[in-house]
Amino acid sequence: MSPACVSRRAPALLAFLACLLFSACSTHPPAAALQRTRSESFGKLPDGREVQIHTLRNKAGMQVRAMDYGATITEILAPDRNGNFTNVLLGKDTLPPYLGSFPGAASTIGRFANRIRNARFTLDGREVRVTANAGQHHIHGGREGFASKLWSATTGSDRSSSFVRFQRRSPAGEEGFPGNLDVTVTFTLTDDGEVRMDYTATTDEATVVNLTNHAYFNLAGGGDILSHQLQIHADRTTVADKDLIPTGPEKDVTGTGLDFRQPHAIGERIEQYRQGPNGYDHNFVLGGTAGKLRSAAKATDPASGRVMECLTTEPGVQLYTAQHISGRPDGSGVWPRHPAFCLETQHPPDAPNHPHFTSTVLRPGQTFRSTTAYRFSTTR
């Protein structure tokens, strides 16, 4: 082949190679890559510190939003059987309600979720007194627990998921708890419809730890949750007194309105619990092996077809039907009776005062680990 021939063919050859390398020959432009994460300002705290909100998306169109204040999830957009998306959490789209009296926040709860009797316990022979913020008792971390703290955050993603990771140090003496506690909670949204919560914590002094998220779910996106079908994989509950604090023994659920081993409508037997807690507010002792991720519960909204399965490594789950916010203003009206339900995965309430309960003690050199996942799907 003559040099002139090579010269004439060179531009075409180069164009062909460019086509292979950059797919420039396609008649359709490449699809835009999915933006899995986005962070933006959500407002400022009274002291001027900025709060960021972080959005996670998956390829199916689900969306999770979580903010630095309280490591709080404000939104989980999930599809119904017809592909219509709605927020299945009680949540707000601005910061001020969370700084005021909004009671339905899906915040991270700690240093100790649920209750501690008389706000005291004995650890290594020493009495520890923590904040009493529920009468004479302690609940959900105290007056200014983790839900009211500003966390630091980082986001990331891979080909099938996105995450936001929140971190903070709870200093020794915060709400009365011993030890500096370094805590991480990571929220992950996967392409197969799972919202995962991974917790870790380490300490420099013996302390107690019980972490959860207080998410309020309504799979219909509004109205009450009394027609939701609920199944809980537990054959026992912890017996509690009028203050909802365990007294020590466990009770078989057989023959009671607490037997959710087969699916039941939440409202089907709730009238049995109009005295005392005025609805469900009970700790269930889960089957299976604590420390291993296994199914704890499943909720279904028959009208929309939304299904949410709760999986956890925790030994228990607290079913709560939001009776304390029934009839209260929600900013756009008034909440109906039982507008949401909570499935708070946890170690037993008041565990530090019951040696036979699963221990919540964490010591230097150990790492507290806990995982809870909510898997969303639909049914016909």
Annotated catalytic residues are 214, 344
> What's the rounded Cα separation, in Å, for the pair 207 and 172?
10
Q: Which residue has the tokens 């903010």?
A: 67
> What's the rounded Cα separation, in Å, for the pair 316 and 119?
21
227 burial type by CB count under 10 A (0-12 exposed, 13-18 middle, 19+ buried): middle
Radius of gyration for the chain, computed over Cα atoms and rounded to the nearest angstrom: 25
241 burial type by CB count under 10 A (0-12 exposed, 13-18 middle, 19+ buried): exposed
8 A C-beta contact, residue 88 and residue 217 = yes
> What's the rounded Cα separation, in Å, for the pair 172 and 156?
30
Angle at CA of residue 185, ends 181 and 190, nearest 5°: 165
Strand blocks (E) in 46-89:
50-57, 63-67, 72-79, 85-87
Q: CB-based contacts of 328: which residues, under 8 Å, 6+ apart? A: 103, 334, 335
> What's the rounded Cα separation, in Å, for the pair 190 and 78?
12
For the record, the structure tokens of 231 come out as 């199944």
